[in-house]
Amino acid sequence: MPRLTLLLPPAARLDGQALPPGVARALGRGDLGRAEAGHAAQLARHFHASPGALAEAALTRAADTDPADARDGAWLRADPAHVRPDINGARLLGIGGQLQPGQADVDALLPVLRALFAEHGLQLDAPHPARWYLRLPPGIVVPAFAAPDDALGDDLFEHIPGGAEARRWRLLASEAQVTLHNHPRNAARIAAGLPAINALWFWGGGTDAAAVLPEAIASASPTLYSDDVLLHGIARIAKVEAMALSRCDPATATDALVDLRGERDPARLVGTWLASAVARVPVCDLVLDFADGLVIHLRLAQRWRVWRRPLAALPA
């Protein structure tokens, strides 16, 4: 039987959203389970890398360039960021595409930053204006940097890694901030109503062993619909057909993985996506995988579980 899988945001995001009768009835008859919470664990349930883990920086590099380039080294993201001082320290208020960086920003800022990182044996480039990369030399130790979604809006210093191996990275981040703060390109951005690119955010390397591209990635889904560059990089290695989410028709989707983690409208998530997916159960199995670990399996044979009550709301 073909399988349709929806990657969904945390179920708590749908708290208070009424479930249509057909959806409530189907979910009440389904098999509910719990898995590890978090986006990394969620992706690992559907994509199995060997050897090692899903290396975010290397995989987005594969989408931004090609797998051959991404395989030629170990990688760390060093994305353009905006940090604002406040009374308690500084806050990370924007990163990557949120700052609307353009090629003019790359052309102005990269040369001075490249010179800075070259002094430390690191190569910086930007195949995409919103995604900048450091090629790591062999043997370098990479701390566990925080992902942007975990750090945005927080005090910057709460997410700076500690330990002896992290000291050089804290110094590099400080030097990059000084260089960017004094660069005239930021005056032009501010005059244009854009936030300054006054910091770099290191992330996506995992550890030195996880900073390289996996040799292979296995997936049970032959088709992916997503707007996430990380998933498109995974799809390239897994040899899965990947398309933008806008290409997915929820009324006809079958044997695919549909990435809905970025959907911000609870009404659309429930009324369009969940309702359409549940209607597909006669022709395919359905897996609803929520980022907070709730997993619901729906199959056609469950229609005989008539003694089960409809699910009034998704369990927290």
Tens place of pLDDT per residue across the chain (316 aa): 899 999 999 998 888 788 999 999 999 999 999 999 988 899 999 999 988 778 899 999 999 999 999 988 889 999 999 999 877 778 899 999 999 999 999 999 999 999 999 998 899 999 999 999 999 887 777 888 888 888 888 887 788 787 777 888 888 999 999 999 989 999 999 999 999 999 999 999 865 556 788 889 999 999 999 999 999 999 999 999 999 999 999 999 999 999 999 998 999 999 999 999 999 999 999 999 999 999 999 999 999 999 999 988 888 7
Contacts of 132 (CB under 8 A, 6+ apart): 77, 78, 79, 80, 110, 124, 125, 126, 200
Which of 187, 147, 145, 139 lies closest to 166, judged by CA?
A: 145
Same-domain check for residues 77 and 47? no
Same-domain check for residues 254 and 287? yes
Same-domain check for residues 79 and 179? yes
Q: Is residue 315 one of the residues assigned to a domain?
A: no
Give the whole-angstrom CA distance, residue 44 versus residue 155.
29
Give the whole-angstrom CA distance, residue 315 versus residue 311.
9
**pLDDT attached to residue 40:** 87
**pLDDT attached to residue 210:** 63
Helices (H) and strands (E) in the chain, counts: 11, 14
Give the whole-angstrom CA distance, residue 135 versus residue 138.
10
Q: Is residue 313 one of the residues assigned to a domain?
A: no
Same-domain check for residues 237 and 178? no
Q: Judge residue 133's burial from the number of C-beta atoms within 10 Å of its C-beta, 0-12 exposed, 13-18 middle, 19 or more buried.
A: buried
Same-domain check for residues 173 and 287? no
Q: Where does a domain end: 156, 182, 210?
A: 210
Q: Is residue 63 one of the residues assigned to a domain?
A: no
**pLDDT attached to residue 206:** 64
Domain count of the chain? 2
Same-domain check for residues 84 and 188? yes
Same-domain check for residues 204 and 222? no
**Where in the sequence is the domain holding 241, given as residue range(s)?**
3-54+214-304
Q: Is residue 139 one of the residues assigned to a domain?
A: yes
Residue 13 structure tokens: 């995001």
Q: Where does a domain end: 177, 210, 243?
A: 210
Q: Is residue 65 one of the residues assigned to a domain?
A: no
Same-domain check for residues 167 and 242? no
Which of 45, 151, 172 lies closest to 98, judged by CA?
A: 151
Q: Which pTM does this prediction carry?
A: 0.91
**pLDDT attached to residue 135:** 93
Same-domain check for residues 82 and 202? yes
Q: Is residue 60 one of the residues assigned to a domain?
A: no
Same-domain check for residues 45 and 96? no
Same-domain check for residues 187 and 220? no
User: How many degrees, rounded to 5, is the angle at CA 41 between CA 36 and CA 46?
Assistant: 115
Same-domain check for residues 83 and 202? yes
Q: Where does a domain end: 210, 235, 250?
A: 210
